[in-house]
Amino acid sequence: MGGWQDMAAEELEQQYSPSRWSPRLGPDEVIQAHLTATAAGTQRARAGVQTLLHVPYGDGDGEKLDIYLPTDPSGTFPVLVYIHGGYWQCLRGIYLCGHSAGAHLAAMVLSTDWTEYGVVPDIKGAVLVSGVYDLEPILHTYVNDALHMSREVAQRNSPQLHIALAAPAAAACKVLVAVAQHDSPEFRRQSQEYVLALRAAGWSVSMLDLAGVDHFDIVEKLSEESYILTQVILNMILRT
């Protein structure tokens, strides 16, 4: 079986267009449904907790984050950093959770040599959902029309190519790579190969292949307490 290099341009476009793979709705409809579901979930979350919204962490207009605090924030509590998808366009214990392109960014955090910055963040766990970890195939798709990545840039920013041997502190970080049954074969391949590469480098990593979901509702369902991925994340936080 050939790799992505053997695919025609049209096939690569399809493989890296997640909305074409949902059995629930058409491409345009599933994206709109995802936006509606995540907006509704955000409103429900904001209604039940204290929030600090649109907090800047850089100078750019898009460099803002929303902070959701527990009802009683006086004690110590873990921090979950969620990074949304959208192909990069649209230190108490820290846990990372990223979806799609957000999973790529979370994986890049794991690949960072923090000693260069004089810090050692206490990252206890990372949940990477339907992510892309090798950017080179994307050079040949519509996604790069806006990104204008060169091959050198794609390789430099591919977590798959920058997995360090896990030091004791890194080995203590639990990594979960989740993928949807109805993700494209390329997304599923990338998740599987990233898991193997992390495991070979000594990382504590597991993979969760979720049946009956696509690239979008795999993360939409995180608002449901009984959803298996929600439970896995909560258990990860409680056990570490």
DSSP string, 108-167: HHHH--GGGGT----EEEEEEES-----GGGGGSTTHHHH---HHHHHHT-GGG--PPPP
Core vs surface per residue 77-88: b (16+ CB within 10 A) or e: ebebbbbebebb
Q: Which of 34, 104, 182, 215 is catalytic?
A: 215
204's enclosing H/E stretch is strand 204-210
Task: Respond yes or no: is residue 215 known to be catalytic.
Answer: yes
Q: Which of 183, 184, 191, 214 is catalytic?
A: 183
Task: Respond yes or no: is residue 17 known to be catalytic.
Answer: no
Q: Which of 22, 100, 130, 158 is catalytic?
A: 100
CA–CA separation, 18 and 167 (whole Å): 35
Q: Quick one: tokens of 47?
A: 């209604």
Task: Respond yes or no: is residue 183 known to be catalytic.
Answer: yes
DSSP string, 211-237: TT--TTHHHHGGG-TTSHHHHHHHHHH
CA–CA separation, 211 and 221 (whole Å): 13
How much helix, strand and coil, in percent to the nearest 5, is found in the chain?
45, 20, 35
Catalytic center residues: 100, 183, 215
